[in-house]
């Protein structure tokens, strides 16, 4: 097999991954749609970074942009993504291929269909190795067996087909494949969706161990804020293509500044297992073909005022490693107090119904 090789001049002082003003657009029959709008974040070595938000908020698009997996109609019109100082958006395909999997690996969304159903799992892992290293198939198979052990799978079964594995086993096999070349960063896009809670727990634990034992950084993308809370050091909360809140996990969870983060926290069982009082945010994210004028979250925000209708708020630093995009940081205490109350969101629900949205305020 022809190996993908390229010599890169890595900048050792640069962060592992840095997105700056990243914007992703899709050209469709409805015109140019902006799926990710001016998003900036940094991922350091030995870090698990989380991106959280409802489906359609652009978090997976960020992952696709980093790995160069955007569909043919997708493009990055502005902004940059740098891996150890190398600008990824400007690489030729074969240069990017050299970085892919060797430095930047993927754990794909859903264990279901991310492995090729008509190839043996060993074949798929050996292929990943041989696409980058000039090693014999026997050596690559030995490495595959090792990897199976690493992720807690029986190496005897590496010649099985994906359909012979359970969902959890498939996800482990996929993780084994991601580890094949000791990458520096793994992007895990919904790594535990479609798995039951127990398996989900095991997988997340394994990802953390990998970081601790192998020093691999991970970006976890999830709609489930409890998954993020369980694994990450730092995170970004996305809504409708925008970063709403960004920074240290501890700060964000203990002192959230953004109403959207508050809403998300309500919508999932806390880690302490209090499942009884789940409050979901009424309504759904705006259509990206028809974005509102002001703050993207305004129509669903119980704390929105006239000020929110002008322009989407900029990210504002609210702590050492903590920023939030909201015009109402001044009443943050009040917001935190009321957000835990079902009434706050229920009030909004009736307003949404009555006025058909808050756009006419």
Partner 1 sequence: MSGETSSSVAHSEGEPSQGWRRFFENLRNSAREQAHIFAQSRMAVAGLVILIFYVVIALISPYIVPYGPYERIYTDAGGWAKLQPPSLAHPLGTTESAYDVLSQLLLGARIAMFVGLLGAFMVAIIGTTVGLVAGYYGGWVDEIVMRIVDVLYGLPFIPFVIVLVTVLGASVWNIILGISLLYWLSTARVVRSEVLTVRERPYVEAAEAAGASDFRIMAVHILPNVIPLAALYAAIAVGYSIVAQASIAFLGFGDPTIPSWGVMLQRAFVTQSFGTAWWWVFPPGLSITMVVTGAYLVGRGYEEVVNPQLQEK
Partner 2 sequence: MVNKRYLARRFLLMVISIFTVATILFFLFRMVPGGPMSAIMSPRMTEAARQRVIENFGLNEPLWKQYLLYMWQLLHLNLGQSFYYGQTVKTLILDRFYNTMALMLTAFLISYTVGIYLGAQLGWIRGTSKERAGMLVVLLVRSTPVFWTGMIVLYVFAFKLNLFPLGGMRGVGAQYSGPVSKFLSVDFLYHLVLPVFTLCTYYTGLPLLLMRNNLLEVLSEDYIDTARAKGLTNRRILFRHAARNAVLPVVTAFAIAIGFAVGGQVLIETVFSWPGLGREMVKASLRSDYPVAQGAFLLLSTIVISMNFFADLAYTYLDPRVRLGGT
Q: Shortest distance, CB of residue 73 to partner 1, whole angstroms?
A: 5
Residue 186 vs 228, nearer CB to partner 2: 186
Residue 104 vs 318, nearer CB to partner 2: 104
Q: Shortest distance, CB of residue 267 to partner 1, whole angstroms?
A: 25
Locate 262 and state its tokens.
């508050």
* 136 is a contact residue toward partner 1 (CB under 8 A): no
Nearest to 266 by CA among 345, 206, 195: 345
* 166 is a contact residue toward partner 2 (CB under 8 A): no
If one counts every other C-beta atom within 10 angstroms of the C-beta of residue 270, the result is 15
* 166 is a contact residue toward partner 1 (CB under 8 A): no
Judged by CB under 8 A, the stretch of 8-16, 90-98, 216-224, 225-233 that binds partner 2 is 90-98
Window 179-218: contact mask with partner 1 (x via CB under 8 A): ----------------------------------------
* 44 is a contact residue toward partner 2 (CB under 8 A): no
Nearest to 314 by CA among 240, 265, 245, 250: 245
Query: What secondary structure does DSSP assign to 344-355, as a single string?
Result: HHHHHHHHHHHH
Residue 90 vs 159, nearer CB to partner 2: 159
Report the Cα–Cα distance between both ends of the chain, in Å, rounded: 62
Q: Which residues, other chains included, contact 37 with Cβ-Cβ below 8 Å and sequence gap of 6+?
A: 23, 58, 241, 242
Judged by CB under 8 A, the stretch of 68-76, 164-172, 278-286, 353-361 that binds partner 1 is 68-76
* 5 is a contact residue toward partner 1 (CB under 8 A): no
| Among 31, 71, 117, 273, interactor with partner 1 by CB under 8 A | 71
Check the CA dihedral 175-178-182-188 and report its sign: negative
Give dist(CA 340, CA 82) in Å, integer.
39
142 three-class SS: helix
| Among 105, 185, 228, 323, interactor with partner 2 by CB under 8 A | 105
Dihedral, CA of residue 178, residue 182, residue 186 and residue 191, to nearest 10? 40
Return residues touching partner 2 (CB under 8 A): 1-2, 4, 64, 67-69, 71-73, 93-94, 96-102, 104-106, 108-110, 112-119, 124, 127-128, 131-132, 161, 163-164, 174
């Amino acid at each position: 097999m022809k190996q993908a090789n390229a010599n890169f001049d890595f900048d050792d002082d640069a962060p592992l991954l840095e997105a700056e003003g990243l914007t992703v657009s899709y050209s469709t029959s409805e015109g140019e749609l902006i799926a990710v709008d001016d998003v900036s974040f940094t991922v350091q070595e030995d870090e698990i970074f989380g991106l959280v938000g409802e489906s359609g908020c652009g978090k997976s698009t960020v992952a696709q942009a980093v790995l160069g997996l955007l569909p043919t109609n997708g493009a990055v019109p502005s902004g940059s993504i740098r891996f150890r100082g190398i600008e990824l958006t400007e690489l030729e395909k074969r240069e990017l291929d050299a970085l892919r999997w060797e430095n930047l690996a993927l754990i794909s969304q859903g264990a279901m269909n991310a492995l090729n159903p008509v190839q043996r799992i060993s074949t798929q892992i050996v292929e990943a190795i041989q696409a980058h290293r000039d090693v014999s198939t026997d050596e690559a198979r030995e490495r595959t067996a090792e990897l199976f052990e690493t992720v807690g799978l029986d190496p005897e079964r590496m010649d099985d087909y994906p359909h012979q594995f359970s969902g959890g086993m498939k996800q482990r096999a996929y993780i084994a494949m991601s580890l094949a070349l000791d990458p520096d960063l793994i992007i895990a896009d919904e790594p535990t969706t479609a798995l039951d809670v127990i398996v989900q727990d095991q997988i997340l634990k394994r990802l953390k161990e990998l970081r601790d034992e192998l020093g691999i950084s991970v970006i976890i993308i999830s709609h489930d804020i409890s998954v993020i809370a369980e694994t990450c050091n730092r995170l970004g909360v996305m809504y409708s293509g925008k970063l709403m809140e960004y920074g240290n996990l501890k700060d964000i969870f203990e002192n959230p500044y953004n109403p959207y983060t508050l809403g998300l926290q309500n919508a999932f069982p806390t880690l302490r297992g209090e499942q009884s009082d789940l409050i979901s945010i009424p309504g759904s994210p705006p259509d990206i073909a028809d974005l509102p004028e002001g703050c993207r979250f305004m129509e669903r925000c119980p704390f929105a005022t006239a000020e929110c209708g002008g322009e989407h708020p900029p990210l504002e630093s609210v702590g050492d490693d903590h920023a939030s995009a909201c015009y109402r940081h001044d009443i943050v205490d009040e917001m935190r107090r009321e957000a835990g109350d079902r009434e706050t969101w229920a009030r909004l629900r009736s307003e949404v119904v009555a006025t058909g949205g808050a756009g006419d305020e």
